[in-house]
Amino acid sequence: MECTVTLEADVLAAFPAEVRIPAQLVADAVAASSAAAPKILVVLDDDPTGTQSVADLAVLTRWEVSDFTWAFSHIRENHTQPAVYVLTNTRSLDPAEAAARNEEVVRNALAAADGTVSLGFVSRSDSTLRGHYPLEPDVIAATVAAETGEATDGVVIVPAFPDAGRVTIGGIHYMRGTGEAAGSLTPVADTEFAKDASFGFANSEMAKYVEEKSQGRFPAADVIVLDLNIIRAGSSAQDPTISAKAIADALEPATNSTPIVADIVTENDFRALALGLEEAERRGKKLLYRVGPPFVRGRIGQEIPTALTSEEAYAGNTPSTAGGLIVVGSHVGVTTRQLNHLTSQHSSARIIEIDVEKLIAGTQTAGEAEADAYVETVVSRVVDALHKGDVIVHTSRLLIKTDDAAASLKIARTVSAAVVAVVNRTLKTFPPRFVIAKGGITSSDVAAHGLEIRHAIVRGPMLPGIVSLWEPVDGPAKGIPYIVFAGNVGDDQSLTEVTRKLSATF
């Protein structure tokens, strides 16, 4: 495992400069490939934070055939770019459940397409390499083969998320330093994320990560690495067609779900990769994608959306006079720092803690009854406080986990169920002005179950490149801005900045 912290400038010195590529060039290439038959990317998002890099795309929290029919119709009727997100929330599931959910989503999407639309599949996962890999792309590939007879040649793995400080250079995935450490790179295996109770890992070098997670099924030596020499092959002439050809040439050997990892540092790198993937697919390669949030934006040629203003966040809706609800479930360090900053700055907000130890103890000793009674007391306090202003509901900061991954997931589900119940009962009693959910699993469960969102539109980011605003188009939360805020993004002030944009009392 790599153990060194280095300077980004020193690492990049060995590679060419980026190739400048307009987003429209990629969008035109995508449109051209869809001229004969429409093609739509179906993004299986293992938590809802994958939407933070895009704008004006449909999101589903259910995946019946009718839901896909709605999404495909929305794309066609509104002439939006060809991608739809499906909130699978598989990071909160055990492997068997995650596999079953992936299979169901793919089968229903293909049924809705019914041969009239060509589908590509994206397995969107965490930019810090946590999640069910290689399980999810394996299941997607197997299901596509079973339903269509089409074999997958390669699985393109692109975890990079430069907006949030994750880049891949020389085949190694790094986290950028912040504050006094700005300009430095730390291999991601040396960060707190690699110690995740359910999805920990030991390797930052992507080829070795693939070998580790596949338990040797894909040896590191067999992984195709698209390093910056390939991604930026057209640098000297600023000619993206050179890079596209170099990428497609490098993918020629891919067969039988060969893992393919790509270096990414900038948006231009995403666009260069997109053009190369277009060329590879034009030549007949069948590819799946396992990626971090911004990949889809680059792949479809979407411009980087600008951060929404307060006015834009409420556009088309009349804001409620109630307070807003900020729900914090994530336990990573940056979330706790953001929560501390918000509570110190937002003096008028009411702070209500969900005591995780009490919740779990109540479930163990008295079944659901004691835990439910505790949740009801929290709801009563939240509703009372919303009449006066914003309310911050957070789980206690002591992370309770075990060495057993399944047991850790069970604890996470118990806590998430309580958070969902608090949000749902509050919504039915006294709807808040806005809802912010902090944490991947938290924001997924709050969306699908707490707010009962089935279909939504991602309107855009609340901060540059991160934190998305969903507009629910149905259900009891229609008209209430919903903010999906990943646990591991932003600086210490980010949660405060987003709350300030939406609040009437801050």
Please say whether the beta carbons of 395 and 354 come within 8 A: yes
**Domain segments of the chain as ranges:** 6-300, 317-502
Q: Averaged in consecutive runs of 10 residues, what is the pLDDT profile of the chain (506 residues)?
A: 78 97 97 89 90 95 97 95 95 93 98 94 95 98 98 98 95 94 96 92 98 98 98 97 98 98 98 98 97 97 96 92 93 89 96 86 66 91 97 79 69 82 96 94 90 96 94 94 91 97 95
Residue 365 has what pLDDT?
58
CA distance 493 to 345: 10
Residue 197 has what pLDDT?
85
Residue 227 has what pLDDT?
98
Q: Which fold has domain 6-300?
A: Rossmann fold (3.40.50)
Q: What is the pLDDT of residues 59-95, one digit of tens each?
A: 999 999 999 999 999 999 999 999 999 999 898 889 9
Residue 364 has what pLDDT?
59
Distances (CA, A) of 191 to 10, 202, 299: 21, 10, 28
DSSP for 162-224, written as a single string: GGGTEEEETTEEEEE--GGGTTEEEEGGGSGGGG-TTT--S--BHHHHHHHHTTTSS-GGGSE
Please state whether beta strands 184-187 and 6-7 pair in parallel, antiparallel, or not at all (unpaired). Answer: antiparallel
Residue of 124, 97, 111 whose CA lies nearest to 41: 124
Q: pTM value?
A: 0.90
DSSP for 253-310, written as a single string: T--SSEEEEE-B-SHHHHHHHHHHHHHHHHTT--EEEEE-TTHHHHHHTPPPPPPPPH
Whether the link from the prior residue into 22 is cis, omega within 30° of 0, is: no
Residue 2 has what pLDDT?
44
Please say whether the beta carbons of 84 and 73 come within 8 A: no
- The helix/strand/coil state of 472 is strand
The domain 317-502 having CATH identifier 3.30.2350.10: the answer here is no
Is 246 exposed, middle or buried (CB count within 10 Å of its CB: 0-12, 13-18, 19+)? buried
Let me know if the fold of 6-300 is the same as that of 317-502: no
DSSP label at 92? G
